[in-house]
Amino acid sequence: MIREDVAGPLDLGARFRQEARAAAGFGHPNVVRVYDFGVDHNVRPFLVMELLEGQTLRLRIAGGTPMPAAETLHVLRGICAAIDAAHRVGLVHRDLKPENIFLQVHAAGVVPKVLDFGLAKAFATGQALEARTTSATSAGLIVGTLDYMAPEQVAGDLVNPAWDIWALGVIAYEMVAGTHPFRRRVTFANDDTVGLATTSERPGRHMSAKQCAFFQSALAPDRALRPRDAREFLDGCEKALA
């Protein structure tokens, strides 16, 4: 069941069904499977999903101890494969974070699964991307989790796959360093963002020079300096953590 405080302001007659249909229609070994969706007689939205056993990535890193490089890369390979496949069919997750990554315990080992594609928003490719509006999102509503939002997402720019790549960078940093890379302070006035302060937690303090250089690129304020897609991001991680 989807919490009322989340579903309440949304258009259950259109937006929920549209995005649930997109989630149900997208299948990948590293994405939790959505089998069905609907709204019950009490107007409560629901999803019928694959049952997983294991723990979230958030629980795995909760102690603040950096994950071994081999384990980190195994998890990132699964996440990047899922995000790359989603972007290829025009879906942006928009809310990637350790809570939305599940480490499924399987007979053959751990299988990373991306959860919550219900927040995914279809994007247009090529020239159409620049002209797309955010009309499918309620006015004044920022969708996502601030600690994992790219600067341009916080600023309210048009939906872009680069948002997910930024979130991958933050997640990977937490796995490698055992801490979040930034502290942020966002202030609002009349529903508008009027200030954003970001301070670094000394990227590279517990890292090699290669790792430091990679994360400086992956978490650069300028989107042009970051990896272009999930495959390029993973390639950079493989080289940095080798």
pLDDT 10s digits, 158-199 = 889 999 999 999 999 999 999 999 865 555 545 554 444 444
Domain membership of residue 232 (yes or no) is yes
Torsion of CA 108, 35, 161, 79, to 10 degrees: -10
Domain membership of residue 237 (yes or no) is yes
pLDDT score recorded for residue 186: 52
95 is catalytic: yes
| Whether the predicted pLDDT of 135 surpasses 90 | no
Of 36, 84, 95, 116, catalytic: 95
pLDDT 10s digits, 16-66 = 777 677 777 788 999 998 888 888 887 777 888 899 999 999 999 999 899
Q: What residue numbers bound the domain in which 65 lies?
A: 53-241
pLDDT score recorded for residue 118: 64
CATH of the domain at 74: 1.10.510.10
Residue 20 to residue 149: CA distance in whole angstroms:
22
Query: Is residue 101 a contact partner of residue 171, using CB atoms and an 8 Å limit?
Result: yes
Domain membership of residue 212 (yes or no) is yes
pLDDT 10s digits, 60-119 = 999 989 999 999 999 999 999 999 999 999 889 999 999 999 999 988 899 999 998 766
Domain membership of residue 74 (yes or no) is yes
| Whether the predicted pLDDT of 230 surpasses 60 | yes
The domain tally of the chain equals 1
Domain membership of residue 2 (yes or no) is no
Domain membership of residue 62 (yes or no) is yes
Domain membership of residue 85 (yes or no) is yes
